[in-house]
Structures are given as C-alpha cells and as structure tokens.
Structure 1
Amino acid sequence: MMKNKKRVFLLAGVLITLGLIYIGILQFKISQYSHKEVPKNADYLIVLGARVKGTVPSLAFASRINEAAEYLKKNEETFVIASGGKGPGEDISEAESIRRELVDQGISDARIILEDQSTDTYENISFSKRLIPEGARKGLVVTNNFHLYRAVSIARDNGLVVQGLPAETPWSAVIKSYSREYLAITKFYLKRYILN
C-alpha cells in the first residue's frame, strides 16, 4: 500500500515538473515575440478582433486598437485590415469596432479594410489574407503580447511575411489570458504537428 502511494506521489511530482517546464518554454516563446523590434513602413497591419461589450471594445481589445492607431499615425502609407466577426453579446462586429475606434483617433476610413466574418485566430488570418491587395508584401499582426507568438505563427503558416506589433495586456486580464493561451498554443501544436 505504501509503495503504491509513493509511486502515485512520484508520478504526480514528475507530471507537475514536466508541466511547469512546458509552461516555462511557452512563456519564453511568448516573451521572445513580445520584445522584437517592430519594423517601420509595413505595407499593412492586421488587427485581430477580441471581445466587444455591446459596442465598446474590452480593455485588452482597446489596447490592440490603440497600438495600431499609434503605428498608423507614424506610418502614413500603411493600411489596416480590421479583422473579427460578430459574436454573442456584441452589437457590432469586432471589425466595425476597430474601424470606429481608429476613425475616432484620426485614421482615415480610406485606409481601413473590414474583414467581419471570422470567428477565431485561424479565420482572422486566412480571411484577412484574401483582402491584402496585390503588391503588399510586408505586414504586421497586431494583438496583445500573450497572443502574438501564436498569431504570427499561424500567419506565417498561411504564407504571410509578417512580424508582430504587441499591445499591452491589462493587469486585470493577465492570469485568465495567459492560462487560456497556454491551452490554445497546445491545441495549435497538436493541429500543426500531429493532426495534419
């Protein structure tokens, strides 16, 4: 009986240790993508949608939009694809929310392309890719720092030449966002390396 208990504790200890190492590796990857230098004069930005409360972007989403607006003000030839459909509890699409907020911050409507059908990051990227005008080569994916590694990886898997433009994650959303992202990255790995 004691031997069995010891084995269970040993196994649990090994699994916990491996889990912590795995999370550490994921966190390192996330951190790497959050601290890369952002190139100037990108041809386009893809701003990834997130939760809209009625017509108001969530704090994390607003952070993405603000980061995109700052870049667009400094790089006047860059256009932007606002990406995200309309989910439960949302009165407008996430793409429309991006458009409204950017226009409020002085970005010309003529520079904004709407992609308002996507429901997840994979669709954000693949649907946005169809809207990139011919000749536009160099792009940036705009999302919160916790999400950047997976988003850029998905974009590159779709044949896009992109880097990331990281937006800060509000402190109130850090634990929930990172916990969900570890699971989402795991699913991404399974899809990329095992299920394909």
Structure 2
Amino acid sequence: MKNKKRILKIMSIFIGIILLYFGFLQYKISQYSSTKAPSNADYMIILGARVKGTVPSLALEERINAAARYLKKNKNTIVIASGGKGPGEDISEAESIKTELVKRGINESRILLEDRSTDTYENIEFSMEFIPKDAKIGLVVTNNFHLYRSLMIAKDEDLAVSGIPAKTPLIAIPKSYSREYLAITKYYLKKWTPFF
C-alpha cells in the first residue's frame, strides 16, 4: 500500500513538472505572437512550409499573406524566400512563396530564392548568404507558434532580426503546437547538453 502511494505521488509530481514545462513553452511562444515589426526593414526572410504540389499549405499561405502586407507598405524591403523541395512538392517552397507574392502584387525583382534548405536551421543559415552586406534591419516571417524558436536560432547565428508573426490556421493548431513543443525541447537539448 505504501509503495502504491509512493508511486502515485511520484507520478503526480512527474505529471506536474511536465505540465509546468509545457506551460512555460506556451508562455515563450505567446510572447512572440503579437510582435510588432519595425518599418523599412532592409530584408525579410520568409521561412518555408509544406507545399502540396505547387499550392502552399494553409500555414505557408498565412506567412505569405503577412509578408505581402508588410511589403506593400515598405517598398524598399527585399525578400529572401526560403525553403527547398520536399516529398510531395512539385516545386520548392521558395518558388511557391515567390509565385504567391507576385500574385499579390510584389515585384519579382525584390524576391531572392533560397531553395536548398530542409529545416529551420538551414532556412536561417542558407538565407544569410543572400543578405546585403550593408543591411541593418532584418525580419523573419513565420507562423506565430514557430517564431520564438526561429528567432532563437537566428540569434545563435549572430543574426539580429525581428519577427513578423503570421496566423496559424485553426485546423493546424493542435498538430503545429504539439510538434513545436517537441522541436523546442530538441533545440534546448542541442544547445545546452554537449552530448546531444
């Protein structure tokens, strides 16, 4: 009986710690959900997301919409569309971003393509090759659930950028947030534990 109570107590503590941890992650994510971007940025990196054939997923479409709104108000900002071609994608995510921005009235001469990356780390790393040397103000555009980790990765690369949070489609919230909790945990482990 005592052993059973002890096990239940340990399990309760363990579950409590997990809930507190996920609460902390949600707090960090929510801190970046209403970030206000500075005007007249020199460049903008739009992080890729899934493309279905040639059509952007709902999450990617929200990123494109958020970027287009900013670009229409800030005519001198150049765009780095970032994302390679993955399984089930007929074109690269970068190409899909460019096509959709042009449809929304953004001149294609403003859009540079980074079409090799396969994850957020590579999105940031490979996009840095396209940043003008004299650029001072930079932005990263991604869905609100993804912005915290993206900006942390950029900071690790000594890239000082602000964020533009795009909406997360309602249908994608459960899957997106649960995957992001795991991705942030992996990021923490990779950053703070030498053997990971």
Q: Distance in 1 between matches of 2:89 and 2:104?
A: 22
Which amino acid is the alignment partner of residue 118 of structure 2? T
For each residue in 1:145-177, what CA deviation from the matched residue of structure 2 results, as whole angstroms up to 9, or x when unmatched?
000000011011111110110000010000100
Q: Which residue of 2 aligns with 1:87?
A: 86
Which runs of structure 2 are paired with 1:91-170 in the superposition (5 Å)? 91-170=90-169
For each residue in 1:41-61, what CA deviation from the matched residue of structure 2 results, as whole angstroms up to 9, or x when unmatched?
111110000000000001011
Shift of 1:127: 0.2
Name the TM-score, length of structure 2 as normaliser.
0.97
Q: Is the 8 A contact 2:92 2:115 kept in 1?
A: yes
**1:14 and 2:13 aligned:** yes
- Range that drifts further, 37-46 or 76-85: 37-46
Q: Distance in 1 between matches of 2:13 and 2:43?
A: 46
Shift of 1:6: 1.4
Secondary structure of the structure 2 residue equivalent to 1:81? strand
When the two chains are superposed, the root-mean-square deviation of aligned CA atoms in Å is 0.9
Which amino acid is the alignment partner of residue 160 of structure 1? L
Shift of 1:125: 0.1
For each residue in 1:70-128, what CA deviation from the matched residue of structure 2 results, as whole angstroms up to 9, or x when unmatched?
10000000001000000000000000000000011110111000000000000000000
Which amino acid is the alignment partner of residue 73 of structure 2? K
Q: Distance in 2 between matches of 1:44 and 1:96?
A: 18
Secondary structure of the structure 2 residue equivalent to 1:47? strand
- Range that drifts further, 52-61 or 34-43: 34-43
**Identity of matched residues, %:** 66
Q: Which residue of 2 aligns with 1:67?
A: 66
**1:78 and 2:69 aligned:** no
After the TM superposition, which segments of 4 or more aligned residues of structure 1 sit over 2 Å from their partners?
A: none
- Number of matched residues? 195
Which amino acid is the alignment partner of residue 124 of structure 2? I
Secondary structure of the structure 1 residue equivalent to 2:193? helix
Q: Which residue of 2 aligns with 1:38?
A: 37
Secondary structure of the structure 2 residue equivalent to 1:71? helix
Shift of 1:24: 0.7
Q: Distance in 2 between matches of 1:151 and 1:175?
A: 19
Name the TM-score, length of structure 1 as normaliser.
0.97
Q: Distance in 2 between matches of 1:131 and 1:3?
A: 64
Q: Is the 8 A contact 2:37 2:162 kept in 1?
A: yes
Which amino acid is the alignment partner of residue 89 of structure 1? G
